[in-house]
Amino acid sequence: MIEIIPSISIFEGKCVRLVYGDYNNKTTYSESALEFAMRFEEHGIRRLHLIDLDGAKQRTVVNYAALQLIAGHTQLNIDFGGGIQSFGDISHAFEFGAKMVTIGSIAAENKELFSSWIVSYGRSKIILSADSLHGKVAVRGRLKNTQLSLMEHIAYYYERSIIYLKCADIAQDGALQGPNFDLYKKLQASFPNLRIFASGGVRSMDDIKRLNDMGLYGVIIGKSYYDGLVSLKEIEEFIAKNA
């Protein structure tokens, strides 16, 4: 069964959602990150995707406190990303309660360093984040586009035994236009041993069920939940039915 993973994005101390990864096109929510996280856990959700948008923008982790708070008050398995630059950043993330870290920019900009993290921490602890626009990788909280081919980028780390991949099509993300199903089919065919987290564009439980039927490992949801298109009751029923 596909794992449904809500995301919480933190920017300037608030929970926000971006459209197309644009910091200037965002919705801010009144609830705290902890309130959201506790609500998710109450409905049977086991994993949380926590994004430090300040960290991604500033190139240094900012929101360890939010990570520590959620980890201390829930049993959620948290994967944490945004602003990670060094061994120390990863170690601190684990110390503050993360079970896994999600890393994109360094993987694209410093392959030797990222590869060393896979070896040092183990591939079960590291998620390669590869967000793309028109087939090219985007980094720095999606503020910077590169000329790096998405498929070649993933292939490089696939050959180095990475097993977890989070992939978002920025053109779909936060726009409620549906996931890029063709992209995920291509990734599955090209990298059959990857455990892929689909991210971006989910509009309904039907989208989640389709990704489940395709055999995706996980789906990260944001705007569809926050805008009321996917309810926690529906998620809870899906989990119970497929347990």
Instruction: Give the C-alpha separation, 198 to 41, whole Å.
Output: 21
Write the pLDDT tens digit of every residue in 47-56.
999 999 999 8
pLDDT surpasses 60 at 175: no
Residues 43-82: tens digit of each pLDDT: 999 999 999 999 988 889 999 999 999 999 999 999 999 9
Dihedral of CA atoms 92, 97, 100, 101 in degrees, nearest 10, equals -40
Which pLDDT value is given to residue 176?
64
Share of the chain above pLDDT 70, in %: 95
**For the chain, how big is the Rg over CA atoms in Å?**
16
CATH number of 3-242: 3.30.450.20, 3.10.580.10, 1.10.260.40, 3.20.20.70?
3.20.20.70
Confidence of residue 146 (pLDDT cuts 50, 70, 90): confident
- pLDDT number for residue 142: 52
Q: Please state, as a whole number, how many other Cβ atoms lie within 10 Å of the Cβ of residue 122.
A: 10
202-218 average pLDDT score = 96
* pTM of the predicted structure, to 2 decimals: 0.92
Q: Quick check: 231 and 221 in contact, CB under 8 A?
A: no
Cα gap 80→99, rounded to integer Å = 8
